[in-house]
Structure 1
């Protein structure tokens, strides 16, 4: 992991991370056909990316330096937070249509996140 030399380096790294993650912001109006299309694309990318990171950690855990495992784990946590954001948008859009989805998290269902990791 790179050491941050000064506060300006930290600002630069933070701005870079925000730019990298900005692509997951759903910009279409909530509940429209465009919203659902954009949401589906971003949700699919999250599911696939999280699966790839989990597999990389599982397969290469003993072959990678600890700093790389830490980086992959941090990425996984970021994508879990993005999945929570997308799930909140989905629930809100459904509530606007009068559909109650409380207690049903699409990402947990798709990925089996509540199951024990092997």
Structure 2
């Protein structure tokens, strides 16, 4: 039952539009933006409120952050694949890593 609930919670991040289509890029951008904002909010909560959170709450937020990192990887793989279909190579560049680096945040420092 718990696994079913988790799958249901994360299903909203599945990109269903055909790879590389205009609808794909619109859907991808929307889901990517949501992931970036959510990850930033979780990191901020962990950083600012760590002393006020219970161990259980910290564990839950950390687990959520890991899940969102996995979803970021999925979305990045889709982006790279869609670009390759169009003949665009973007090796060694990950939009999510770039966004996190711009914020000056180190993921391991939580």
TM-score by length of 1: 0.87
**Would you say 1:28 and 2:31 are equivalent positions?**
no
Q: Give the Å deviation of 1:102.
A: 1.1
Deviations 1:73-103 (A, max 9, x none): 0000000000000000000000000000110
Q: Which has the higher helix share?
A: 2
Equivalent residue, structure 1, for 2:95: 106
2:6 equivalent among 6, 14, 17: 17
Q: Which has the larger radius of gyration?
A: 1
CA RMSD of aligned residues (A): 1.5
Runs of 4+ in 1 over 6 A off after TM superposition: none
**How many pairs does the alignment contain?**
107
Unaligned runs of 5+ in 2: none
- Residues 3-48 of structure 1: CA deviation (Å, up to 9, x unaligned): xxxxxxxxx1100000000000000000000000000000000000
- Normalising to structure 2: TM-score of the pair? 0.93
User: Structure 1: 5+ residue runs without aligned partners?
Assistant: 1-11
Select the residue among 74, 83, 86 that pairs with 1:94.
83
Aligned equivalent of 1:37, options 26, 48, 52 = 26
TM-fit CA distance, 1:72: 0.1
What does residue 72 of structure 1 align with?
61
Give yes or no for contact 1:24–1:82 (8 Å, CA) kept in 2.
yes
Mapped partners of 1:49, 1:28: distance in 2: 22
How far apart, CA to CA, are the structure 2 residues paired with 1:63 and 1:89?
38
